[in-house]
A and B are shown apart, each in its own frame.
Chain A
Amino acid sequence: MGMIFSLVAVIFLAAIAFMGAKLNLFGLFGVAIPYLAVLVFIAGFIRKVIKWGQSPVPFHIPTTCGQQKSLPWIKQSKLDNPSTTLGIIGRMALEVLLFRSLFRNLKTHRTDGGPVYGSNKWLWLGGLAFHVTFFVVFIRHLRFFTEPVPAWVNTLDVVDGFVQVGVPHMLITGVVLLAAATYLLLRRIFNPQVKYISLPADYFPLFLIIGIAVSGILMRYFIKVDIIKVKELTMGLATFKTTVPDGIGGIFFIHLFLISVLFAYFPFSKLMHLGGVFMSPTRNLANNSREVRHINPWNPKVKLHTYEEYEDEFREVMKSEGLPVEKE
C-alpha cells in the first residue's frame, strides 16, 4: 500500500510539472519553485541540525567494535574502537565514505540444527553504489551552474564517460545510480523482512530519485532538450539574474520539479541521515571514558541510600559478625 501510494504520488508530481510546462508556467517551475525548494532545504536542514545539537550527549556511549586501548602490549583496534580524536576521524571517514558498518552485514539462515550466519555484502554494495554515483552526478551538474566550467568538472565528465558508448557519451554514473536505486526498491518489494518494515516514507524518496534519474537520462539521450537554453536558465538561477527562456521542453521541467520536491522534502524525512550520521554518539565518541571524564550538563541530583543509613539498619548484625562499624 505504501509503495503504490508513493508511486502514484511521484507520477502525480511529474504530471504537475508537465502540465506546468504545457501551460508555459516557466517562471513558476523554472525559478520560483526551485528557489523555494533550496530555501526550504537549507533552512530545514539547519533547523534540524540545531534541534539535534540542542539535546546534549549526557553519556559516553560509543559502540565498540574492536579491542580497547588498555595495556601497552595489547594491540588496540584503532579504527573500530578508537580512543583518540584522530582515531575518531578515521572511524567516521570509514563510516561515511565506505559504509564500514554495512560492510559487516551478515545474513542469518535457518537450518535444522539452528541458525548460521553468512556474509552478505549486497546491501553494502548497492548502498555504496547508490550514494557514490548520486554524489558524482550531483557534482557533474555543477557545469550547469558555473561559467566557465571548472576543469575538474569537465574531467569528471570525461572519466564518467570512459566507456564511450553512444552520442553523447553514456555517463556510467547515471546508469549505475538508476540501477542501484532500482535494486534498493526491489529489495523493499521482494525481501519479506524489508517489505514488512517499509513505510511510504521509504518508497517515496526512492521513486522520486528514480524519477529524477529516468528524466535526466531521457533528456540526455532520447528526448533531447535545448541544452543552451537550459544552461541559460540554470546560470540565471546561479547568478540571481533569472531568465526564463522558452522552448526548453516539458521533460526538463519534470526533472527540475522532482529535484525541487526532493530538496524541499529532505529536511523533514529520513534523508536527514546525511547530517545525522556525523552526530551519532555511538560512532563519533572516542572510547576513552575511563581516561577522560565525560560531563553530563544536566547531571541530576538524586536521593541516595548512604552508608550511615545502611549501618543504622544493620549495625547489630555487622557487630555480631565482627564487621567494623563507624558508630558503636
Chain B
Amino acid sequence: MAIKPKPNELLSGINYKPPLKQWMDEPVEFKKGYYCYGAKPKNLEYIGFPNGREWNSSEQDWKLVDNWKEIFLEGMENLLKKFRSFRLFMDICVRCGACADKCHFFIGTGDPKNMPVLRAELLRSIYRRYFTVAGKLGKIAGARDLTEDVFKEIWYYYYQCTECRRCSVFCPYGIDQAEITMMGRELINLLGCCTDWISGPLANCYRTGNHLGLQPHTIKSNFDYMLDDLEEHTGVRVEPTFNRKGAEILFVTPSADFFAEPGVFTCMGYLLLFHYLGLDYTWSTYASEGGNFGLFTSNEMMKRLNSKIYAESKRLGVKWILGGECGHMWRVLHQYMDTMNGPADHLEAPVSPITGTRFDNAKSTRMVHIAEFTADLIKNGKLKFDPSRNDNLNVTFHDSCNTSRGMGIFEEPRYIINSVCNHFHEMPDNTIRENTFCCGSGSGLNAGEIEELRMLGGLPRAHAVKYVKEKHGVNMLSCICAIDRAVLPPMIDYWMPDVGVCGVHELVGNALIIPGEKERENNLRGEPLPGMEEKGEEE
C-alpha cells in the first residue's frame, strides 16, 4: 500500500509556526490517515479488558459508557498515587520549550499539539482542573473540564506518540512524554478505547505466545522454510530445537524475526551463529515473542505477557536467557522484567559457555542482549569472518529508541558491524545514539490506516539516511529492532528508494565462516555475493 501524497507534497505542507488561536480554543480535528481504528470487542474480551464494544473512531459517537468521566478521573487519581513519575511530571514542567522541536511527529507534521510539552499539557490541563486547588480557577490556571471532545483529543495525540523518549533527553527535569503517554493510554484502556492494531496483537500474544498469532505448528513450518533457504545458501543444515527441556539457554526474539522479510534474514544470522558455536539452546513456542505490546497498553498487561519468558525458562530448566534484536522488547526486559516477574531465582547469573565471560550487568535479570553476547565472542576471537562478503553493502546504523534511551547499547552493535563489514558510515551526530530518531511507527503505531502519519514521523530518520546515502553511498540501514525491520523498508522507500534495511546479525550471518559450508555464492537474502555476480550483469 502506498499513500497518495507524493513526498514533496508532504514536505511542503510542513509548517512549524503554530496558529495564533490559543490551543485550548482549538478543538481537535480528526485527520484521515492520522488515527487508528478502534479495538474490536472480541480482542478486549479475550484479555479481560473492560468496556469493549463495537465502535468506530471516525464516527462522532464513540459509545462511551455513561460514567466514563468518573472512570477516567478515578483512574487518573489511582495512577497519580502509584507513579511518582506521573505526579511529578504533571507538576514541574516549566514549559521552556526545549522538547518542542525534538519530537519526530512534530518535525514531520508541524502539528503544535505534537510538541511533547503540549501533548503533556492535554493531560496536565485535566490534572490541574481536578487535582489541584488553583485549577478550580479554570482556564487562567491552565485547567479545563474533561469533556468527550477533550478525551478524543487526548486519544488522538496519545496515539501520535511512539514513546521514543527523545524529548526526555532534552528536558532539564527529565520529564518523559513516553511515561505520560503510557499513563494516558492506561486511562484510554479503562474505557475500552484501545486501537485495533494494538489490541489484536495483545490478544494474539496472550493466547499463542506471539503478536502475530502464530501457532506452534506454524512456527515450526516457518522455521523449516528458513532452514531450507539457509541450507541452499550456505550448505549447512541447521537443526534448532523447540521447547526442549534441559537446554542451557532459552532464546527469545520478536516473532517478526521468523515471520517476514527482512527479519527472517536476521533470524538466519542467529541460527547460523548458534549452530557454529554448538550452543546448547532452545526456542520456545509458548514464549515465542520478545516484543511486548503491553508496554503500549497498561503495566498489568505488560506484566502478563512478559511473565511467559520467566515461566518458560523455569519449566524448561534453562540456566539463563538470551534475547534477540528488538527495541521495545529490550525496554521491557531491561527496565521492567525483573521488577514485574522476578526474582529469577530459578536461573543462574549468565556466563557465556564459549568465552567464560560473566555478564555481570545482567546478573539479576539473567537475560543477555545478543549484541552483548556476540561482541564478547568477537572480542575473544571465537568467530571467523570474511567481511568482504558484505562488500556490496555500504552500511549505516540506526539506533533504536528504546535500546538507546532506555538501556544505552551503542558500542556493542557498532563493534559487531565493524568486525563483519568493511564499509560503515555514521549518520549525523544529532540523529544517532541518544539523539536517535524513531522509525515513526513504534509503540503500536504500525497500522496501515495511519501510513501518512507514519511517513511523516519517519521523515527525520529518512532524511538522515538520505544524507549518508548522498555523501557516502550508503545502501544498507542496519538496526537492532524488529519494528524497524518491519517499518523502515517502506518508509525509506517512500522518501528515497534504494536503501535496504537489515538486522545486525544478518550481516554477521553473511560474514561468518562456518566449517563445512559450501563456497558461498549468495548472501542470506539469496542475492549474489560481491564478485559472484555473473559477468556483465553488474553493469
A interface with B by C-beta (< 8 Å):
1-2, 5, 48, 51-61, 63-71, 73-75, 77, 80-81, 83, 95, 99, 101-102, 104-108, 110, 112-117, 123, 127, 187, 191-202, 268-270, 272-273, 276-277, 279-283, 287-296, 298-300, 302-307, 310-311, 313-314, 317-318, 320-324
Contacts and interface: CB of A to CB of B under 8 A. Distances in A.
Contact of B85 (A61, A268, A307): A61
Interface stretch (B173-181, B486-494, B513-521): B173-181
Interface residues of B, number: 121
A323 B223 CA distance: 13
B165 to A, nearest CB: 6
Interface in B306-339: 307-308, 311-312, 315, 333-336, 338-339
B84 A81 contact: no
A83 B174 CA distance: 17
A104 B343 contact: no
A252 B82 CA distance: 46
A25 to B, nearest CB: 27
Contact of B311 (A70, A192, A306): A306
B146 interface: no
Interface of B: 11, 14, 16-19, 22-23, 48, 80-88, 91-98, 100-102, 107, 112, 115, 117-118, 121, 132-134, 140-142, 165, 168-176, 179, 206-209, 215-217, 220-221, 242-245, 285-286, 299-300, 303-304, 307-308, 311-312, 315, 333-336, 338-340, 342-343, 357, 359-365, 367, 369, 372, 375-376, 379, 404-412, 415, 428, 430-431, 433-435, 459-460, 462-463, 466, 495
B286 to A, nearest CB: 5
12 contacts: A55-B83, A61-B179, A106-B435, A194-B95, A197-B115, A270-B95, A281-B85, A288-B361, A289-B365, A293-B342, A307-B312, A321-B217
B118 A197 contact: yes
B300 A101 contact: no
A293 B80 contact: no
Given A193-B100, A282-B85, A298-B82, A321 B216 contact: yes
Contact of A290 (B132, B364, B411): B364
A199 B408 contact: no
B311 A304 contact: yes
Contacts, number: 328
A273 B98 CA distance: 15
A59 B19 CA distance: 38
Contacts of A110: 14, 16
A203 to B, nearest CB: 10
B16 A201 contact: no
A59 B336 contact: yes
A280 B112 contact: no
Contacts of B94: 202, 270, 273
Nearest to A76: B408
Given A270-B94, A289-B338, A95 B172 contact: yes
B174 A193 contact: no
Given A270-B91, A305-B308, 4 more contacts: A110-B14, A113-B463, A115-B463, A304-B308
Given A272-B92, A280-B173, A317-B215, A115 B300 contact: no
Contacts of A75: 411
B217 A291 contact: no
Closest 4 CB pairs of A and B: A114-B463, A68-B408, A276-B92, A282-B174
Contacts of A77: 408
B340 A74 contact: no
Contacts of A292: 364
B87 A59 contact: no
Contacts of A99: 172
Nearest to B118: A197
A77 B434 CA distance: 12
Contact of B101 (A65, A83, A193, A303): A193
